[in-house]
Amino acid sequence: MKWLHLFNANFRKEYIEMKRYLPNTIALVFTFYIIFLAAFFGIMFIGDPASFDTNVQYSIVSVVFWSLTMMTMNFIGFSVVTEATRGTLEQIYMSPMGVWKIMLTRIIAQFGLQSVIMVLLLFGAMLTSGQWLSLNPMTTIPIIVVTMISMVGISFMIAGLAIIVKQIQAFLQIFQFVLMGLVFVPLTVAPFLAFAPFVKGVNMVRTVMIDDLMLTQLPWSDYGVLVLNSLIYLILGLVVFHRCEKIAMKKGLLGQY
C-alpha cells in the first residue's frame, strides 16, 4: 500500500508539472517530430528507392525509441539536479521510504506519461510518412517493459553522479548522442552491442513492429539475453547509486549546490 501511495503521489507530481509547463512539453514533442522529418526527407532524397519503405519504418521506430530512452535514462539525473537547485534534495532524504524508492516510482510515472506522448509521436510519424507499423500491444508492451528495467539502472547511475557533482547537463547533452548511436545501429552490424543496455530490447521491438511478428515467433534466447541484460544493469545501477550516496553523505555534499 505504501508503494501505491508513493507512486500515486509521484504520478500526480509529474502530471501536474507536465501540464503546468505545457509549452515545454509541446516543444519537446515538436523537436522529436522535426528530427524524424529530417531523417525522413534525408531518406527520400538520398536513400535507395528500392529499400525506401524499410528505411523509413526503421527510422520511425528508432527516433521514437531514441526519444523515449533519452528522457527515461536522463530523468533521475535531471530530477536530482532540480531538487538540489530548489534546495529540497535533503528533504527527500528525510522521507522514511528512501530516496531510491521515491526516484523509482517517479521514473515509472514519468515513463508512463512519456509513453503516451511517444505513441502520439509514433502515429504522427506514420501519418506523415504513410508507412504503418504493426502495433500489437500484446507483443510490444512486454518487451518494452523489460527493456525499461535496464534504462532505470542507467538512470540510477547518472543520478548517483548528479548527487556528487550536481551539474551534469553537459554530460547529458553528450550522452544523448551516444544513445542515438546505440538505438540507430542495428545488431546485425554490431552484434556486441547486445551487451549494452536496452539495445537488445529496441532491436526486438523494431523487428516485431516492422515484420509484424508475435511473441512466440522470436527466439527464446533473445528473451533470455534481454532479461539478463536488464537485471544486471538494474542491480549495477542501484549499487552505484547507493555508493555515490554514501560518498556524498561522507563529504557533506547533499546540502550543497
Q: What is the pLDDT of residues 139-184, one digit of tens each?
A: 888 888 898 899 899 889 988 888 888 777 777 778 888 887 888 8
User: Residue 70: which domain range?
Assistant: 2-251
Give dist(CA 45, CA 66) in Å, integer: 23
| Integer CA distances (angstroms), 85 to 35, 176, 196, in order | 30, 22, 32
User: Looking at residue 229, what is its pLDDT?
Assistant: 92
What is the arithmetic mean of pLDDT over 115-138? Answer: 80
User: Looking at residue 257, what is its pLDDT?
Assistant: 54
pLDDT band at residue 44, thresholds of 50, 70 and 90? low
pLDDT band at residue 230, thresholds of 50, 70 and 90? very high
Domains held by the chain: number: 1
* pLDDT tens column, 81-96: 788 777 777 788 887 8
pLDDT band at residue 48, thresholds of 50, 70 and 90? low
What is the arithmetic mean of pLDDT over 40-67? Answer: 72
Checking if the pLDDT of 254 tops 90, the result is: no
**Angle, nearest 10°, between helix axes 137-165 and 52-86?**
40
What angle (nearest 5°) sits at the alpha carbon of residue 210, between those of residues 205 and 212?
85
Tell me, yes or no, whether 18 lies in a domain.
yes
Tell me, yes or no, whether 36 lies in a domain.
yes
User: Looking at residue 255, what is its pLDDT?
Assistant: 61
pLDDT band at residue 231, thresholds of 50, 70 and 90? very high
Tell me, yes or no, whether 129 lies in a domain.
yes
pTM of the model: 0.84
Tell me, yes or no, whether 139 lies in a domain.
yes
What is the arithmetic mean of pLDDT over 104-126? Answer: 85
9 contacts: CB under 8 Å, gap ≥ 6: 105
Tell me, yes or no, whether 132 lies in a domain.
yes
Q: By the 8 A CB rule, do 188 and 114 touch? A: no
Between 152 and 32, name the one with better pLDDT.
Answer: 152
Percentage of residues of the chain with pLDDT beyond 70? 94
Length of the chain equals: 257
Give dist(CA 103, CA 196) in Å, integer: 23
Tell me, yes or no, whether 256 lies in a domain.
no
Checking if the pLDDT of 214 tops 90, the result is: no
Compute the CA torsion angle 164, 169, 171, 173 (nearest 10 deg). Answer: 160
Tell me, yes or no, whether 257 lies in a domain.
no
Tell me, yes or no, whether 177 lies in a domain.
yes
Between 227 and 30, name the one with better pLDDT.
Answer: 227
Give the three cell numbers for residue 163: 548527487
3-state secondary structure the chain: CHHHHHHHHHHHHHHHHHHHCHHHHHHHHHHHHHHHHHHHHHHHHHCCHHHHHHHHHHHHHHHHHHHHHHHHHHHHHHHHHHHHHHCCHHHHHCCCCCHHHHHHHHHHHHHHHHHHHHHHHHHHHHHHHCCCCCCCHHHHHHHHHHHHHHHHHHHHHHHHHHHHHCCCHHHHHHHHHHHHHHHHCCCCCCHHHHHCCCHHHHHHHHHHHHHCCCHHHCCHHHHHHHHHHHHHHHHHHHHHHHHHHHHHHHHCCCCCC
Q: By the 8 A CB rule, do 148 and 111 touch? A: yes
Give the three cell numbers for residue 3: 508503494
Give dist(CA 248, CA 242) in Å, integer: 10
Checking if the pLDDT of 27 tops 90, the result is: no
Average pLDDT of the chain is 82
Checking if the pLDDT of 39 tops 80, the result is: no
Q: By the 8 A CB rule, do 60 and 126 touch? A: yes
Of 40-44, 120-124, 146-150, 157-161, where does mean pLDDT reach its minimum? 40-44
